[in-house]
Amino acid sequence: MEFQILHESKGRVRLRAAGRNMSMAQADLLEAWLLKLPGVDQVTIHERTLGVMIRFHADRKALYRQLASFSYKKAAAQVAPIASNSRAITREYKEKLVFQVVRHYLKKLFLPAPIRRILNTIHAIPRIIRALKVLASGKLSVDVLDGVALAVSLLTGDFSTAGSVRFLLGIGETLDKWTHKKSIDDLAKNMSLQVDQVWMMLDDGSKVLSPLNKVVPGDRIVVHTGHVLPLDGILDSEDVMLNQASLTGESVPVEKHKGAACYAGSVVEEGTCVLKVTGSQGENRYDRIVRMIEDSEKLKSGAERRAYSLADKLVPWCLGGSLLTWLLTGNTARAVSVLMVDFSCALKLSMPLSVLSAMREAGKHKITVKGGKYLETLSEADTIIFDKTGTLTNACPTVREVVPFSGHEEKEMLRIAACLEEHFPHSVASAVVKAAKDRGLDHREMHSEVEYVVAHGIATRIGEDRVIIGSRHFVFEDEKVQILPEDQTRFEKLSTRCSWLYLAIGGVLSAAIGIDDPLRPEAVDIIRSLHEAGIKKTVMLTGDSRGAASAIAQDLGIDEYHAEVLPEDKADYIRKAQAEGHKVIMIGDGINDTPALSLADVGIAIGSGASIAREVADITIAAEDLHELVLLKRLSRKLMERIGRNYRFVMTFNGALILLGALGVLAPATSALLHNTSTILLSLDCLTDLLKEDLPAVR
């Protein structure tokens, strides 16, 4: 497909796609394809003008070569269109807005005054009825203020003011709905499942890796322990335990039997799930995310709830002020001017939009925030707890050495370890599997069902022997594994700077696998930057040996560390810190981190870690660079500053409008115009990025 270059600048290019038209579906597909290209940061597509804008940090010529090879047919086989209604929403509300403006001014230009009066009266009646219904329910809201203002204008014969007020209210509502729906859609798109491929089970029982967008209802897919279900379906295997917290809020896993309905977004905690697909990609899950964002109390921060409460409390004062103005002046226009200004619109719209915008901005940096209250808590947090492996260290640790015991061969021990570890999406497990692959070792499955043991390890059977692999605590304390006397000296000489996995067969230590887990290059700088951003205490909790933990803590300048801890130990530490009055952030990536992630005031999961950790956590970061943590902390602080600034502006500006209306300086239509305009401008300001000037400092 051909693209015409319209404008080029550093890190940015504007293009026009070839052809006469582009459907919304094609635009979504092109956007999804472009975002999958390496080095592409942001894509904006205007389907009506065939315009394409790309922001990137990759090689420009390489990007152009990729674009030259694009075709819709090829793209459809490679990626799935982004599940969103963004284009439809934008088109719908643009057309609605234009129609409202054109209709209003055509009536003023071409219709006689008597007919305009009749139409203004007819169109005002629904708002007046709505106000009466609210009053009948025993409540006072902004609908009452609008209804009273329109009724008073009509009763006093001021039909022109009534028409102008109704028009401005309609424009304001349209813009409010547009900005709110667009923000929710952008956020939902960021929170959608990021699953591109699945294991599909064929009729002969074999499995093949297939693109998700090729799966159709009726196909059977296999989802292993720790992974998320990408589609809705019916369980077609033995019993499994599913964590449905992201959908139902249940903290306890649910047992599912063969034939039970299973839903996308659930995580397999125990067993292997064979799912007969009933819903295609994009169905159900996206709508559930939107409903969750719109309805869940998790979206509302404390600041938002306070804004809603204050807005409702101010409505009676606005009504009282209007009545007092009429009693003191006898001037209906002044009383209506007071009614035209309320604090509710600005407070109830600007606060949620500020939070939604901050969550969307985080999404642009590959950070998913599941609710506004987590950003507010993050701004107040003073303690941050790190898991070590895959968090402070590189996401791809490597096997440094394999030390065999009990007369076993090194290669055979690595083969067995890889056979067990390949079932679990953890960075250490991936290192073991990669080491076996690099050495050309074939590790076809030779064991029975693999069981993940909560106390940090894996267990199975090979023949008659129980085989386990895991941490020192799990292997030697929980499983009581023995070390042969002739191996004791070699065991004691294992390096303390290395992290060790222990493999035991038949209750006897068979091998120790040393993991070289180098620190992230930015880790030292991150610890310092977090302290500067307001974090008072940094802590590392790890299941690794004391020697390895001590060395890393010293290298990084971490305030406190605890080694050889269990999942429940991490949770206990968090409870203790919270009891002392600290607001705690927990960062982890493994299945064993989920209890701590759930308990912390803010749980942050690493995107490359276990699916269940991402589902349980409140925030997920891509962790391509840990500077995202500093960015999050500063973003949360900037959000709270914006919310405070909005409070002050709304109270001051609207208070001034009420005073000027009561004094007769402003007419009702002018008060409505200024009030709605300020609300819209404030809302647009709330949608701007918070960290434009802060990003260089963050990075």
Check which CATH number belongs to the domain holding 412 and give it. 3.40.1110.10
Task: Indicate if the pLDDT at residue 344 is higher than 70.
Answer: no
The domain of 13 spans 3-82
Distance CA 300, CA 78 (A): 37
- Are residues 468 and 342 part of one domain? no
Question: What SS3 state is found at 221?
Answer: strand
Q: Which residue has the higher pLDDT, 214 or 405?
A: 405
Q: Is the pLDDT of residue 246 over 60?
A: no
Specify if 286 maps to a domain: no
Pair of tokens at residue 597: 């992630």
Nearest to 574, CA basis, from 540, 593, 599: 599
**Average pLDDT in the 585-604 region?**
83
Q: What is the pLDDT of residue 145?
A: 67
Question: pLDDT tens digits, residue range 327-336?
Answer: 887 777 777 7
Over residues 165-182, mean pLDDT: 70
pLDDT at site 696: 46
Same domain? For 183 and 305 the reply is yes
d(CA 55, CA 548): 42
Of the listed ranges 381-385, 480-484, 589-593, 616-620, the least confidently predicted one is: 589-593
Instruction: Tell me: do 138 and 233 sit in the same domain.
Output: no
Domain boundary among 468, 487, 516: 516
CA 366 to CA 192: how far, in whole Å?
A: 12
Same domain, 275 and 423: no
Residue 249 in this model has a pLDDT that exceeds 50: no
Same domain, 184 and 318: yes
Note whether 389 and 405 are same-domain residues: no
Final residue of a structural domain among 28, 63, 82: 82
Q: What is the pTM of this model?
A: 0.59
Using CA atoms, how far apart are residues 339 and 224, in angstroms rounded to an integer?
61
Q: Which helix (H) or strand (E) holds 122?
A: helix 113-136
Assigned domain for 349 exists:
yes
Contacts of 555 (CB under 8 A, 6+ apart): 519, 524
Q: What are phi and psi of 484, to 5 degrees?
A: -60, 145
Determine, yes or no, domain membership for 288: no
What pLDDT shows up at residue 627? 83
224 and 261 in contact (C-beta within 8 Å)?
A: no
* 527 and 610 part of one domain: yes
SS (H, E, C) 329-394: HCCHHHHHHHHCCCCHHHHHHHHHHHHHHHHHHHHHCCEEECCHHHHHHHHHCCEEEECHHHHHEC
Task: Give the Cα separation of 38 and 472 in Å (integer).
Answer: 40
Contact by Cβ (8 Å): 127, 150 = yes
pLDDT, one tens digit per residue, over 39-69 is: 888 888 888 889 999 988 888 888 998 898 8
Burial tier of 49 (Cβ tally within 10 Å: 0-12, 13-18, 19+):
exposed
Check whether residue 508 and residue 428 sit in a common domain: yes
pLDDT given at position 297: 42
Find the angle CA(299)-CA(301)-CA(302) to the nearest 5 degrees. Answer: 150
Q: Is the pLDDT of residue 482 over 70?
A: yes
8 Å CB contact between 372 and 362: no
Q: Is residue 217 part of a domain?
A: yes
> Looking at the structure, do residues 533 and 680 belong to the same domain, yes or no?
no
Q: What is residue 409's predicted lDDT score, i.e. its pLDDT?
A: 92
Confidence of residue 283 (pLDDT cuts 50, 70, 90): very low
For residues 553-567, b (16+ Cβ closer than 10 Å) or e, as one string? beebebbebbbbbbb
Query: Tell me, what CATH number does 53's domain have?
Result: 3.30.70.100
Q: Considering the domain boundaries, does residue 32 fall inside one?
A: yes
Q: Which of 322, 388, 335, 416 is nearest to 596 (CA)?
A: 388
Q: Give pairs for 521-526: CB < 8 Å, separation 24+.
A: 522/625, 522/626, 522/627, 523/392, 523/393, 523/556, 523/626, 524/555, 524/556, 524/557, 526/626, 526/627, 526/629, 526/630
Q: Are residues 107 and 163 in the same domain?
A: yes
Write down the pLDDT at residue 74. 82
Dihedral over Cα of 327, 333, 339, 343: its sign: negative
Q: What is the spatial distance between Cα 487 and Cα 510, in angstroms, rounded to a whole number?
A: 10
pLDDT at 522 over 70: yes
pLDDT of residue 340: 64
Show which of 580, 598, 623 is a domain's final residue.
623
CB atoms within 10 A of CB 40: 17
Domain total of the chain: 5
What tokens appear for 317 in the block? 């004062």
Q: For position 565, which CATH number holds?
A: 3.40.50.1000
Residues 372, 442 share a domain: no
Q: Is the pLDDT of residue 81 over 80?
A: no
Tell me the CB-side half-sphere exposure of residue 218, using CA atoms within 13 A: 2
273 is a domain residue = yes
Q: How confident is the model at residue 697 (pLDDT cuts 50, 70, 90)?
A: very low
Same domain for 575 and 431: no
Three-state secondary-structure class, residue 230: coil
In a domain, 676, yes or no: yes
Has residue 54 been placed in a domain?
A: yes
